């Protein structure tokens, strides 16, 4: 049998799914790790292989939770096999390996000879299997969206009402998503349930979800060997779109060097059609003619991928882009960023301005980890954005080169300053585990090996994206929504018949149609009153947007020429806005060839702000080198900007990079007599006076 190129790093090969594998009577035996691809096969042990074959009726698990009948067809004779005909279509086939799969009755007969623990994981989306000891889970968390239930069999009305209230709270903790582990005790021990009790428990879970207008999807179940025989443990996803939202929305920034296949991968994921090997799927991703001609992205483009209540993708060929948000319960907004070095400022602006929940780092398996890949990785780590990795073009990459790329990637991820743990996703079960736990840890980085031409690994990626948890916690989200509205402007459009339309991110509060806001700061530091006439989100009209959501706002009675990126819309009820030219930040210098001194000029990125600033003072020392930390005073050289204390800051100039947080803002005085001279409040204390260079 020909080996696939992606077998070099242990990925499951579907071509070997029908090869039977012997199973030892001990769970510690390495033979357990090599299992058949059939979800419901539990192969004979060596002891049972020597017993006389018996024709018996298979035990069935039937219930609403089972996606397919758990019985298995009688094995047919293959080419090269010998045997005798037993009649009624049965054959006594002679193979070197066991002739049939293990049923529940067979598992029961093995219990006495095996340790108590989990034998098999069965996923609802694939036939792949996980390895290791799954006899227990971590104890149930008090906070969060994960709930353990031993069983939910015939609850009383009062008990059912309590369970519904508990589910409502878990959904609120997970921003509309909750994970239920059925057959698991509160301490994490997998006790398991019989088939009948599991059916009843899942029926109760669906009734709880029905009362909340939520949906239930069984992700996977485990078969646990106990003293009483085989038992089942199920993991379920409960999803309910919050009443004040049209769908659950996530933002994912796409990073990676040029020519690694970022736009092609996005086209395949969002359109549902494989690429022809010459970039046909990426044409709809480009916004400019020169991008089509060169094949390189130079701007920031947006694409959406929707999932319905059953976890099925909603593609462009099924619904128009304006209808995807209406038919989907979960929406992934991909922000495609430029990969070439000369567009690095645009890439950083997309990362800082759109505040993505996650980042997708795309690496070509044939090219390996190049310089720009390391640059993008360092920026994502500096901004503390959780990320996952896509290794593309695995279909045309030799096995040796693929392994070299994985080794170099692991080395970069484990390096000092990054301290990440790589997790290569081998199966759909691994993708479920990665989505539920890995990104919450932020130290674990899932790695997917995919091909946009053959479709290798794309199903695992879609399953992973479908299960990605929302970003901010419920307490933080509620706190942001209770504050005065604030909107960061990232894009500006002049729409015929509408006028000025600004796109960006709602950082605080709730913005509704007809609300009055203050726009600024302008060149003189002032703010002007405006009215929001209409709102669009995910290309669909809506009446309001909340904190952490991106949207496009139509603004009345103001010219497009006077508006620039980096401006904000603020609530006038919050008081008079205070723009600044000078500010202080506690920074850490990630890299500089020599040292930075007073007068150094650099490009500063703070949220949607991107402007050149000069360093006026460095305290307590007067110069900083790589890995040094200091309190630095900056001065914008062109326009005043609106900053808030604690904002994340990133500055760069060539290879120089530094990160920090804003600690002090000096008020900007724009009230002068002649309206032409701008005076700033001078720095005090031991700070140096401003210099011009």
Average pLDDT over residues 328-347: 85
Transcribe 228-275 into DSSP letters.
Answer: TEEEEEEEEEEE---TT-SSEEEEEEEE--TTSSHHHHHHHHHH----
pLDDT tens column, 463-508: 999 988 876 666 777 888 889 999 999 999 999 989 999 999 999 9
Alpha-carbon span 480 to 688, nearest angstrom: 37
CATH H-level, domain 475-574: superfamily: Translation factors (2.40.30.10)
Q: How much of the chain, in percent, has pLDDT values that exceed 90?
A: 41
Do 635 and 581 meet the contact criterion of CB atoms below 8 Å apart?
yes
Question: 395 near 451, Cβ under 8 Å?
Answer: yes
Q: What is the mean pLDDT of residues 2-15?
A: 37
**pLDDT higher at 619 or 295:** 619
DSSP E strand boundaries for 413-558: 421-424, 444-449, 486-495, 499-508, 510-512, 516-520, 528-537, 540-542, 544-546, 550-555
State mean pLDDT over 146-161: 93
**Mean pLDDT along residues 599-612:** 94
Q: How many alpha carbons lie under 13 Å from residue 500 in its C-beta half-sphere?
A: 17
- State the DSSP string of 110-179: HGGGS-SEEEEEEESS-S----S--SB-PPPPSSSSEEEES---S--HHHHHHHHHHHHHHHHHTTTEEE
Q: pLDDT-derived band of residue 64, with 50, 70 and 90 as boundaries? A: very low
Q: 490 near 608, Cβ under 8 Å?
A: yes
The pLDDT value recorded for residue 229 is 83
| Spatial contact of 229 and 103, defined as CB atoms under 8 Å apart | no
Please indicate whether residue 180 or residue 690 has the higher confidence score (pLDDT): 180
Confidence of residue 436 (pLDDT cuts 50, 70, 90): confident
3.40.449.10, 3.40.50.300, 3.30.70.1400, 3.40.30.10: CATH of 248-471: 3.40.50.300
Query: Looking at residue 160, what is its pLDDT?
Result: 94
The answer on pLDDT for 132 being more than 90 is no
Show me where the domains of the chain are located: 20-115, 146-239, 248-471, 475-574, 582-680
| Architecture of the domain spanning 582-680 | Beta Barrel (2.40)
Select from 569, 564, 660, 653 the least CA-distant residue to 606.
660
Per-residue pLDDT reduced to its tens digit, 564-581? 999 999 999 998 888 999
How sure is the predictor about 110, in pLDDT bands with cuts at 50, 70 and 90? very low
Is residue 275 very low, low, confident or very high in pLDDT (cuts 50, 70, 90)? confident
Distances (CA, A) of 125 to 39, 118, 280, 446: 10, 20, 28, 18
Give the pair of three-digit tokens for residue 34. 């090599």
How much is the pLDDT for 53?
Answer: 40
| Range in 104-113, 451-460, 597-606 the model is least confident about | 104-113
Q: What is the pLDDT of residue 157?
A: 93
**With 90 as the cut, is the pLDDT of residue 69 above it?**
no
Is the pLDDT score of 99 beyond 80? no
pLDDT at 21: 36
Out of 145-159, 499-513, 627-641, 667-681, pick the least confident.
667-681
Instruction: Give 139's Cβ-side CA count (13 Å radius).
Output: 3
The topology under which CATH files domain 146-239 is Translation Initiation Factor IF3 (3.30.110)
Instruction: Tell me: pLDDT of 101 over 80.
Output: no
What does each C-alpha distance from 382 to 418, 489, 610 come to in angstroms?
A: 9, 23, 17
DSSP conformation letters of 619-649: ESSSEE-TT-EEEEEEEESS--B---TT-EE
pLDDT at 659 over 90: yes
- Shared fold status for 146-239 and 248-471: no
pLDDT at site 70: 36
Structure tokens at 392: 């593309």
Instruction: Calculate the average pLDDT of the chain.
Output: 77
pLDDT of residue 672: 47
Identify the pLDDT of residue 20. 37
Check pLDDT > 90 for residue 516: yes
């Amino acid at each position: 049998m020909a080996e696939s190129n992606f077998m070099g790093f242990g990925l499951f090969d579907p071509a070997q799914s029908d090869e039977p594998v012997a199973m030892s009577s001990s769970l510690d035996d390495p033979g357990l790790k090599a299992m058949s691809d059939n979800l419901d096969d539990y192969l004979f042990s060596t002891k049972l292989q020597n017993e006389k074959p018996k024709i018996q009726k298979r035990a069935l698990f039937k219930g609403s939770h089972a996606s397919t009948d758990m019985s298995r067809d009688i094995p047919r004779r293959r080419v090269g096999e010998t045997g005798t005909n037993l009649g009624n279509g049965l054959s006594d086939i002679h193979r070197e390996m066991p002739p049939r799969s293990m049923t529940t009755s067979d598992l029961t007969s093995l219990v006495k000879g095996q340790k108590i623990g989990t034998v098999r994981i069965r996923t609802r989306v694939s036939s792949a299997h996980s390895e290791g000891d799954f006899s227990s889970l971590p104890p149930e968390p008090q906070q969060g969206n994960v709930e353990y239930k031993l069983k939910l069999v015939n609850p009383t009305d009062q008990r059912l009402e309590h369970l519904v209230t508990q589910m409502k709270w878990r959904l609120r903790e997970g921003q509309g998503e909750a994970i239920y582990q059925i057959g698991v005790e509160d301490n994490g021990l997998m006790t398991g349930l019989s088939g009948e009790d599991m059916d009843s428990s899942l029926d109760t879970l669906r009734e709880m979800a029905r009362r909340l207008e939520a949906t239930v999807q069984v992700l996977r179940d485990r078969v646990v060997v106990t003293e009483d025989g085989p038992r089942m443990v199920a993991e379920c996803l409960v999803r309910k779109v919050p009443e004040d939202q049209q769908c659950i929305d996530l933002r994912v920034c796409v990073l990676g060097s040029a020519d690694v296949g970022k736009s092609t991968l996005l086209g395949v994921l969002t359109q549902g059609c494989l690429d022809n090997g010459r970039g046909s799927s990426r044409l709809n991703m480009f916004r400019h003619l020169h991008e089509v001609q060169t094949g390189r992205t130079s701007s920031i483009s947006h694409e959406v991928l929707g999932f319905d209540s059953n976890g099925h993708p909603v593609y462009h060929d099924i619904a128009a882009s304006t209808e995807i948000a209406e038919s989907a319960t979960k929406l992934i907004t991909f922000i495609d960023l430029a990969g070439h070095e000369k567009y690095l400022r645009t890439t950083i602006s997309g990362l800082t301005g759109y505040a993505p929940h996650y980042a997708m780092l795309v690496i070509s398996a044939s090219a390996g980890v190049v310089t720009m890949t390391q640059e993008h990785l360092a920026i994502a780590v500096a901004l503390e954005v959780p990320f996952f990795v896509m290794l593309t073009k695995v279909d045309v990459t030799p096995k040796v080169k693929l392994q070299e790329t994985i080794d170099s990637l692991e080395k970069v991820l484990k390096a000092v300053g990054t301290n990440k743990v790589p997790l290569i996703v081998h199966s759909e079960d691994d993708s479920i585990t990665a989505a539920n736990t890995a990104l919450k840890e932020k130290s674990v980085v899932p790695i997917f090996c995919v091909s946009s031409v053959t479709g290798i690994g794309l199903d695992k990626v879609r399953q992973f994206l479908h299960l990605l948890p929302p970003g901010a916690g419920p307490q933080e989200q509620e706190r942001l929504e209770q504050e005065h509205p604030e909107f960061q402007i990232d894009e500006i459009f002049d729409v015929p018949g509408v006028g000025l339309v600004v796109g960006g991110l709602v950082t605080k509060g709730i913005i509704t149609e007809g609300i009055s806001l203050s726009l600024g700061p302008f060149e003189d530091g002032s703010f002007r009153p405006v009215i929001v006439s209409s709102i669009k989100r995910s290309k669909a009209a809506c009446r309001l947007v909340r904190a952490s959501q991106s949207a496009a706002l139509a603004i009345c009675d103001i010219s497009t020429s006077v508006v620039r990126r980096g401006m904000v819309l603020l609530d006038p009820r919050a008081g008079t806005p205070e723009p600044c030219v000078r500010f202080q930040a506690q920074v850490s210098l990630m890299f500089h060839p020599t040292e930075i001194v007073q007068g150094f000029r650099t490009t500063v990125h703070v949220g949607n702000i991107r402007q050149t600033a000069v360093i006026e003072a460095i305290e307590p020392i007067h110069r900083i080198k790589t890995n040094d930390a200091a309190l630095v005073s900056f001065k914008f050289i062109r326009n005043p900007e609106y900053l808030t204390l604690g904002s994340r800051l990133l500055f760069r100039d060539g290879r120089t990079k530094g990160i920090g947080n804003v600690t002090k803002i000096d008020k900007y005085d724009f009230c002068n007599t002649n309206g032409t001279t701008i005076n700033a409040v001078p720095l005090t204390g031991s700070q140096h006076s401003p210099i011009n260079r």
